[in-house]
Structure 1
Amino acid sequence: MIQFVGFDQQYLPAMAILLAKRHQVERSRYSFLPSRFEDSSETEILLRKEGEKPFVNGIVALRNDEVIGYMLYEFKEDAKKGRHIIIDYLGLAIAEDAHPRLVRLLYAEAGAEWIAGGYFQHIVYVPIGYDRHVYEWLEQGFRFEQKYAILDIQNYEPKAKEAEKSALRIRRLADSDTEILKRMSRWNSIHQASAPSWNPITKESLEDVKSGYAALAKDAEAIVMIGEQDSIPVGFHVYYEADSSVNMYTPERTVELPAASTNPQYRGRGVGKALADASHAQLQELGYDYSLADWHTPNHLASYFWPKLGYQTFMIRMVRTVDNRIAWAHGN
C-alpha cells in the first residue's frame, strides 16, 4: 500500500539516496555528468537547498514507511507565464523497483493542489538518461518544449570544409561592434517566429533583444565570435562560463551557449560549422572542456544543427497547460 505524505526534512536522506541512484543510471549513459552526485551526501545538500526555497513544496511516497519516491515543485508567477509550477531536474526520483506509474501518481496527488490554486501550467525538467520518466510525462499530456545538450570540446572534430572556412573572416568581438550586434539581434528572433516554431516576437521584445545584444560589446565575461564575409556580418556565437555549483548536470570547466545565429541570406553555406570550429578552438585554448546548449524543439534548424556538431541531449523541458475551465466545469 502506497501512502503519500507532505515533504519534510526527515525524508531528505532517503530522498537523496533515490536521487543519487537515478544519477548513477544517467551517468552510465552520459559520462560527462558530474560524478560527485552519485554520492547521496552531495545530492542531499542540493535537495536541502531546494527544500529551503520559500515557494517550494513537495510530496513523498511511502511503502511500509520506506521512501520510494518524491516530487519537489516550485510555485511561480510572472507576466509572461502567469501562475505556473516548475519541477526542476532534481525534483523527482523513484526507487528502481517502483513501477514507473508512480510518477503519474505523484503528479496526480500534488497536481490537485496546483489546480485548486489556479496553477494551470506545469513545467518539468526531465533527465532522458532515465527515460522511463519521459514516457510517463508524455502519457500525462506533457509535450517537449526545450532540449538541453552538452558537447565534449576537447574531443571536438572540425566540421567545416576548407572552402567554407576560406571565405570567412572569424574574429573575437570588439568594443566597436555595437551596431553590428544590433543588426544581428534580429536574425534569431525572426527565425523563431517563422514556421514551424511560430514563437511570437513583438516589437517591444525585439527592442529588448537589441539592447541586450548591444551590451555584449562591453561585457567582459562574454566570449563572442563573429563571422564576416566581404565585411558583411554573417554569423555569431555567444558563450559564457557556466557555474557548475548551481545544478547537478553542469561539469566543471563548461561554457554555456545562450545565443548563436547565421545571417538568413548566408544559411546553407557552412557559416555555422565554420563558426563552431573557430569557437571550439578558441574555447580549447581558454581551457574549457564542455559546452552546454539548449534549443526550442520546434526550431527545426537548431534541432538538426547542434546534434550534428556532436551535442548530446541529456535533459528535456516538458510542458502541460491544463484547460483552465476545470476551475468551474465539473459537469454539475
Structure 2
Amino acid sequence: MIRFVEFEEQYISQMASLLAARHRDERQRFSFLHERFEDVNEAEKRLREEMSKPYMGGIVTLRDDNVIGYLLFEYRQDAMRGRTIYVGYPSFVIHEDEHPRLARLLYTEAGAEWVRNGYFEHVLDVPVGNDELILEMLEQSFHFEQRFAALSLERYRAQPGENSLVAMKELVGDEQSTLRTMASWNSMHQAKAPAWQPITQEALDQERETFEAYEGKEGTRSWVAEQDGVPVAFHLYTPADARHAMTTPSQAAVLVQAATNIELRGQGIGKSIANHSFTQMKKAGYEYIMTDWYTANHLASYFWPKLGFRSYMIRMARTVDARIAWADGQ
C-alpha cells in the first residue's frame, strides 16, 4: 500500500538516492552531464537548493517508510503565462522499479491543489532519457513545448554551404545595443505556420529586456553577419550559469539568442555565422554550447540538431481549462 505525504526534511536523503540513481541512468546517454550528481550527497545538495526557492511545495510517495517517488513544485507568477506551476529538472522522480503510472498518481495528488488554488498552467522540465515519464505525461494531456540541447565543440565540424556574400563582425562595447533592433526577428518567425505564436507586447518587451540584460555583462559575446554593411543574422552568447550545473557541462556557454532575417533564410547565412561563432567560442576555451528552441518552430527543430546539438531535456506544458473552477458538477 502506498501513501502520499507532504515533503518533510526526514525524506530528503531517500529522495536524493532516487535522484542520484536517475542521474546515473541519464549519464549513460548523455556523458557530458556532471558525474558528481551520481553521488547521493551532491544530489541532496541540489534538492536543498531547489527547496530553498520561495513558494515551493512538494509531495512524497511512501511504501511503508520507503520513499518511492517525489514531486517538488514552485508557484510562479509568469509574465507570459500568468499563475504557473513549474517543476524543475531534479524535481520529479520515481523509483526505477516502480510502475511509471506512479507519475500520474503524483501529478493527480499535487495537481488537485494547484487547480484548487487557481494555477492552471503546469510546466515540467523532463530528462529526454526518461521515456516512460514522458509518455505518462503525454497521456495526461501535456505537450512538448521546448527542447534544451548541447553541442560538443570538440566534435563540431564546419557545415558546408556557407554564404560567401556575408562578413562576420563581433560586437564590442556599445555596439551590442545593435541587437535590440533585431529583437523581434524570432518573434516574427514564430508567428508564422506552424508555430502560430502571437506577437504580444509582453513578448516583445521580454525580448528587448533580454538583450539589454546581456549588454556589458562579463563574458558575453555576440556576432552579426553583415551583407553590404547591413546586419542579416546574429548570435548572442554568455557563460553558462553554474546554478544549473546538473544539466550543464563544464566550460559551457549558452547561445542565448540567434536569428536570421526572415526574408533571407535558406541562403546559408545561418551556417556561416554558426561556423564562425562556434570556432571563436572554441578558441576562447569553451567545450560545449547550450541552447534551446520551441518544438513547434520547425526550422529550429531541424537546423540545430543538424549542426550536432543533442537534446537532453524537454519542457512539457499543460493548460487546464479554467472553466473547471466553476463547471465542476457541484
Amino acid across the alignment from 1:230 = D
CA distance in 2, matches of 1:193, 1:120: 24
CA distance in 2, matches of 1:320, 1:186: 26
1:59-138 maps to which residues of 2 (within 5 A)?
59-138=59-138
CA distance in 1, matches of 2:229, 2:130: 47
Alignment match, 1:200: 198
Q: Secondary structure at the match of 1:53?
A: coil
Query: Cα offset for 1:176?
Result: 5.6
Q: Secondary structure at the match of 1:274?
A: helix
Per-residue CA deviation, residues 3-30 of structure 1 (Å, 9 max, x unaligned), is 1111011111100010011011111011
Q: Tell me: CA distance 1:251–1:260, structure 2 relative to 1, closer, same or farther (3 Å).
A: same
- Asked if 1:235 is matched to 2:233, the reply is yes
CA distance in 2, matches of 1:211, 1:115: 31
Query: Cα offset for 1:65?
Result: 1.3
Amino acid across the alignment from 2:250 = E
Alignment match, 1:154: 154
Note if contact 1:27-1:129 (Cα within 8 Å) is conserved in structure 2: no
Per-residue CA deviation, residues 103-137 of structure 1 (Å, 9 max, x unaligned), is 00101111111111111111110101121110010
Query: Cα offset for 1:217?
Result: 5.6
Note if contact 1:226-1:236 (Cα within 8 Å) is conserved in structure 2: yes
Alignment match, 1:172: 170
Alignment match, 2:282: 284
Query: Cα offset for 1:52?
Result: 2.6
Alignment match, 2:321: 323
CA distance in 1, matches of 2:101, 2:6: 19
Query: Cα offset for 1:219?
Result: 4.3
Gaps of 5+ in 1: none
Note if contact 1:177-1:217 (Cα within 8 Å) is conserved in structure 2: no
- Asked if 1:15 is matched to 2:26, the reply is no
CA distance in 2, matches of 1:286, 1:144: 34
1:46-57 maps to which residues of 2 (within 5 A)?
46-57=46-57
Gaps of 5+ in 2: none
CA distance in 2, matches of 1:305, 1:234: 17
CA distance in 2, matches of 1:299, 1:218: 30
CA distance in 1, matches of 2:196, 2:276: 31
Amino acid across the alignment from 1:104 = R
Q: Which moved more, 1:94-103 or 1:319-328?
A: 319-328
Q: TM-score, normalised by structure 1?
A: 0.94
Q: Tell me: CA distance 1:267–1:247, structure 2 relative to 1, closer, same or farther (3 Å).
A: same
Query: Cα offset for 1:194?
Result: 1.5
Q: Tell me: CA distance 1:101–1:310, structure 2 relative to 1, closer, same or farther (3 Å).
A: same
Query: Cα offset for 1:221?
Result: 3.1
CA distance in 2, matches of 1:34, 1:211: 31
User: What root-mean-square deviation, in Å, do the aligned CA atoms of Structure 1 and Structure 2 show?
Assistant: 1.9
Q: TM-score, normalised by structure 2?
A: 0.94
Note if contact 1:244-1:251 (Cα within 8 Å) is conserved in structure 2: no
Query: Cα offset for 1:215?
Result: 7.0
Q: Secondary structure at the match of 1:110?
A: helix
CA distance in 1, matches of 2:188, 2:201: 11
Q: Secondary structure at the match of 2:11?
A: helix
Query: Cα offset for 1:171?
Result: 2.0
Query: Cα offset for 1:295?
Result: 0.6
Query: Cα offset for 1:244?
Result: 2.6
Q: Tell me: CA distance 1:214–1:92, structure 2 relative to 1, closer, same or farther (3 Å).
A: closer
Q: Which moved more, 1:311-320 or 1:74-83?
A: 74-83
Residue correspondences, number: 330
Amino acid across the alignment from 1:285 = K
Amino acid across the alignment from 1:192 = Q
Q: Which moved more, 1:202-211 or 1:123-132?
A: 202-211
